[in-house]
């Protein structure tokens, strides 16, 4: 199971196909906003998501929904949305009465993990769901909060699970009164299990690589070994170094779809490679850089469906572009910008279907006002200013923009001349408009649609190629779009 983790910041701060993706990124009323800045490199743009009042530090997908955690209260204006919330597709939903500290101040959620039907939540909070025993670590079943086990006495930064074993890292000491349960321990469904004599500072990341348990953080001399600083592996009886040592904290440990090990954090020159700054890959015998590395710390990274690594953090000037900050994509040979970037730090990233969500402490994403959460929307390849080619097949692309208010453009392409019918339906399947019912030439086509007369909601547009003999559809394709007023 994936690890989800966050270190403390330098300062406090609070399944589908593409057509479903754009509904998930719905943002409320778009009237009056400037058009989004479209990235020519990535063929997409950053779409604002209903704002979160302060910092977003962690994200997780659980039971098909996006959950975000951080140092915030009143997400989307909901007074119960404190610390951790669920994205409904149009707004934020509280998890019961939310979370708080005992003094009434904001909770700080720094770890989320989906496992065995529960959402595990770790951080700095007390009395989850009003239960005085649910401090720093709790789990949510979709309706209520419950405890994992008593004994954690300080902030949880990382969670990792295998079967019934829950691994926990953080800033705690003496978990369950055991002096060896410092900063890292495991709950085996009946007791907290220590690992040798514990670690001497915070654990921010946990993962398993080729059968070996790895931890990263701000600790040094794990197992008494001076080379086991900031990253260590468990050999079954004690901690030992992994690689040739690092010079600063490890924030994140990730495994690529190909089974390759990557780490990220505050370190520079990992394993002696001057290019291995803030992110590095294990090549089997040592650490190597990804290009020239990045200029500041990397908070987290994920791998998309193509296997490309997407990193977020405090770095700037991705691929030499001074207008592309705080997010970058590694394509295997070089770094690429991911849209126009952000005006503040990015700290969390997660894919939900084809949707890419990013959280942090920013107010602008891709030139659009976006309070601490934004969603990347990929444009259909039909959006192009190039000369119209002869299409190789019949296809219907996603409309743009989507969501829209009240105007949008629908794109389709034809391989041969055909009688085409393009029809709009509402969510109940009622036909509300026919945009085209006439012969069309081969190539790419764009059709303007104005929904001024329609109510807000989900609509479907269907492209049909009509047989001249039977007058029946010989080809038909349908997509979804969202009208927001």
Tens place of pLDDT per residue across the chain (485 aa):
444 555 544 332 232 222 223 233 433 333 333 434 444 345 677 877 878 889 999 999 999 999 999 998 878 777 778 899 998 877 889 998 878 876 767 889 999 999 999 999 999 998 887 787 789 999 999 999 999 988 899 999 999 999 999 999 999 998 888 888 999 999 999 999 999 999 999 999 999 999 999 999 999 999 999 899 999 999 999 999 999 889 999 999 999 999 999 999 999 999 888 899 999 999 999 999 999 889 999 999 999 888 899 999 999 878 776 666 899 999 888 998 887 789 999 999 999 877 899 999 999 998 888 899 998 876 544 333 333 333 345 788 889 888 888 889 898 888 888 888 899 998 877 889 999 888 888 888 888 898 988 988 889 998 887 755 555 555 678 888 988 87
**CA–CA gap between residue 105 and residue 107 (Å, rounded):** 7
Task: Write out the chain in H/E/C secondary structure.
Answer: CCCEECCCCCCCCCCCCHHHHHHHCCCCCCCCCCCCCCECCCCEEEEECCCCCCEEEEEEEECCEEEEEEECCCHHHCCCCCCEEEECCCCEEECCCCCECCCCCCCEEEEEEEECCEEEEEEECECHHHCCCCCCEEEECCCCEECCCCCCCCCEEEEEEECCEEEEEECCCCHHHCCCCCCEEEECCCCEECCCCCCCCCEEEEEEECCEEEEEECCCCHHHCCCCCCEEEECCCCEEECCCCCCCCEEEEEECCCCCEEEEECCCCHHHCCCCCCEEEECCCCEEECCCCCCCCEEEEEECCCCCEEEEECCCCHHHCCCCCCEEEECCCCEEECCCCECCCEEEEEEECCEEEEEECCCEECCEECCCEEEEEECCCCCCCCCCCCCCCCEECCCECCCECCEEEEEEEECCCEEEEEEEEECCCCEEEEEEEEEECCEEEEEEEECCCCCCEEEEEEEEEECCCCCCEEEEEEEEEEECC
Per-residue model confidence (pLDDT) at position 338? 81
The answer to whether 410 and 420 have CB atoms below 8 angstroms apart is no
Per-residue model confidence (pLDDT) at position 386? 35
Per-residue model confidence (pLDDT) at position 105? 74
Per-residue model confidence (pLDDT) at position 43? 62
**CA–CA gap between residue 77 and residue 6 (Å, rounded):** 25
**CA distances from residue 452 to 292, 299, 406, 408, 449 in whole angstroms, order as listed:** 51, 43, 5, 11, 9
Per-residue model confidence (pLDDT) at position 321? 67
Per-residue model confidence (pLDDT) at position 282? 97
- Ordered domains of the chain (ranges, CATH): 4-378 (2.130.10.10), 395-483 (2.60.40.2550)
The answer to whether 137 and 187 have CB atoms below 8 angstroms apart is no
State the chain's maximal CA–CA distance in angstroms. 83
């Amino acid at each position: 199971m994936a690890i989800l983790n966050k270190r403390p910041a330098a300062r406090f701060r609070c399944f589908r196909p593409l057509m479903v993706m754009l509904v998930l990124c719905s943002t409320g009323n778009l009237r009056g906003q400037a058009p989004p800045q479209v990235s020519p490199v990535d063929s997409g743009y950053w779409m604002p998501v209903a704002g979160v009042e302060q910092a977003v530090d962690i994200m997780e997908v659980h039971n098909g929904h996006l959950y975000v955690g951080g140092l915030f209260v009143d997400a989307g204006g909901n007074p119960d949305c404190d610390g951790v919330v669920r994205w409904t597709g149009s707004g934020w939903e509280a998890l019961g009465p939310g979370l708080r500290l005992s003094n009434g101040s904001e909770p700080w959620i720094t770890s989320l993990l989906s496992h065995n039907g529960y959402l595990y939540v770790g951080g700095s909070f007390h009395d989850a769901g009003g239960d005085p025993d649910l401090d720093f670590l709790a789990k949510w079943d979709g309706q209520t909060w419950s405890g994992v086990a008593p004994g954690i006495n300080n902030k949880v930064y990382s969670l990792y699970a295998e079967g019934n074993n829950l691994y926990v890292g953080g800033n705690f000491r003496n978990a369950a009164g055991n002096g060896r349960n410092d900063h890292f321990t495991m709950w085996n469904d009946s007791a907290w299990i220590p690992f040798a004599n514990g670690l001497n500072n915070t654990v921010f990341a946990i993962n398993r690589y080729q059968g070996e348990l790895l931890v990263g953080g701000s600790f040094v001399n794990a197992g008494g070994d001076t080379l086991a600083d900031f990253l260590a592996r468990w050999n079954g009886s004690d901690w030992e170094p992994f690689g040739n040592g690092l010079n600063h904290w490890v924030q994140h440990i990730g495994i690529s779809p190909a089974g390759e090990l990557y780490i990220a954090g505050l370190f520079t020159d990992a394993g002696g490679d001057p290019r291995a700054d803030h992110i590095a890959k294990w090549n089997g015998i040592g650490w190597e850089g990804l290009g020239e590395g990045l200029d500041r710390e990397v908070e987290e990274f994920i791998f998309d469906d193509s296997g490309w690594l997407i990193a977020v953090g405090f770095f700037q000037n991705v691929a030499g572009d001074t207008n592309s900050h705080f997010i970058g994509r590694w394509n295997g040979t070089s770094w690429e910008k991911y849209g126009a970037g952000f005006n503040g730090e990015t700290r969390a990233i997660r894919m939900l279907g084809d949707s890419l969500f990013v959280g942090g402490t920013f107010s602008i994403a891709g030139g659009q006002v976006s309070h601490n959460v934004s969603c990347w929307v990929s444009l259909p390849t039909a959006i192009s200013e190039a000369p119209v080619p002869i299409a190789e097949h019949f296809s219907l692309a996603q409309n743009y923009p989507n969501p829209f208010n009240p105007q949008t453009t629908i794109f389709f392409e034809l391989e041969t001349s055909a009688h085409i019918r393009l029809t709009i339906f509402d969510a109940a399947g009622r036909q509300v408009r026919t945009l085209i019912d006439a012969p069309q030439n081969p190539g790419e086509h764009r059709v303007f649609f104005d929904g001024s007369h329609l109510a807000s909601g989900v609509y479907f547009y269907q492209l049909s190629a009509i047989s001249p003999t039977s007058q029946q559809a010989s080809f038909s394709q349908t997509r979804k779009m969202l009208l927001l007023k």
